[in-house]
Structure 1
């Protein structure tokens, strides 16, 4: 039997009122989660949401688009019903992607942040049951969490509810260094504070003007064979692979031993920096070069004539600890 239009409209209006009431109730207890879409296209990662500041047990958290987020802390289980290899974080944009390392094993996975949380100050990150299973950790396990920009195919895996491929395991020597930075409770930053100040898509000129691009940042990564002899270093520090030292005390040039071709169409990109001095230092360390893209300085190695040569160089760079390195096609 066909219902009169006025009855249908009244029913729809009632459902809409119930939905709005539920949203209002949720907003009072926790920030809104990111929209999750089963449609497996890049558009599902937008819009990126920050949201308003909120308070947990007297501590106020302000969501911010921090480019080089890198911290150690402890993990907890996410809310029941959290789907896929996903997580909850208090301040990073939703959605965004992070690598999470279990400090007891070095096992590292890729996680899509979709919700606000954890709603306790003692935990750095909340993971869904699927993420905890892939990482092979339980409640309160020590972790490292750093924001990354993964390839689109890995993003697509997570958006579809699948596991992304495991990342490279963190070496034992670096794990020991990370554990020394781990606080008894809560979390601690690892990254260069000069970079974490430059947040958002376009860094503000005022922020950049206050940073000294020639100021050296400390390095904490120690070689595995002497890690037990290294005293704990004060924060803040930058965690980077330790490079051989040249006679003059600076880092030795470390070519990837794969032939380059000035007319090649493939390059390895190691990072994008808001501070040109940081990009120049990394480029010298890996015998790479710097290209400018808008307000960012891109560090690349190459170019290479074939994708096969680029993949050889990528493998060598990732062995050195540059796990974010990616192959880029040169225009």
Structure 2
């Protein structure tokens, strides 16, 4: 087929030359339209960081550099709660970027993520560590989840395959744009991938997820003044849930009163995600305009609010804010 196309092009070119012979001046063929320029990338792919083994929640993760990584599992996503906070490789998190978090792949890496319910496949740039939940394979930014079509409250079954895309597509993702979507995965292959997911030894069905504390529960990244340095393994592990035999923690008040001080852990756009996180860490969720704030308190003074700071740190949240309680 390729050679026949060239023959037709040759015949067409010859006919064009013969036609132009009768005129005083041959008409030059139109010049190809220049490609749309890509703006300078906002972030860089160098240096690539792998890092040393690290421990979160009593489990050790060993970063590696597999060339042929291809796994199936469940994907969750995170967004507004981490705006402007640093990812594990030192970049500022942007919810609209097509990015993701993985426990062990190098940072950055590029992966194709396929939704096993629809076959839709997109290109994602990994720049963060997580999700630290045994039933999750990858955490996607809100922009990536939106492009993939999985922005519900639960987890979605996916395939994650490491790839080396063209430089132009890498540049698009580095500049916080979307790369073109891949051809949808055909149904026969989706059937095989779903079978792999069902056979996995630790593949529980998707469950509603709480908002992911992106940076606070991650191994801290070494200073930007030391490019390529390994991840710091000094981050305290997330405590395991208390045994059933222990007395339950004192429940937070259902209706927080105004006045005093509170310790704010996160601000989310989803009420269900905020309430799920509040239940998980023993705090409460408060509506504040278009967002829902997850808080400890109120406390009568800033000194008393340090108890909330310690409670947040025990749950894996660092650098939380003590602020005046504006609940109504």
User: TM-score category by the smaller chain?
Assistant: 0.3 to 0.5
Tell me the TM-score normalised to structure 2 length: 0.43
Tell me the TM-score normalised to structure 1 length: 0.43
- Which structure shows the higher helix fraction? 1
Greater relative CO (CA pairs within 8 A, separation 6+): 2
Task: Determine which structure has more spread, i.e. the larger CA radius of gyration.
Answer: 2
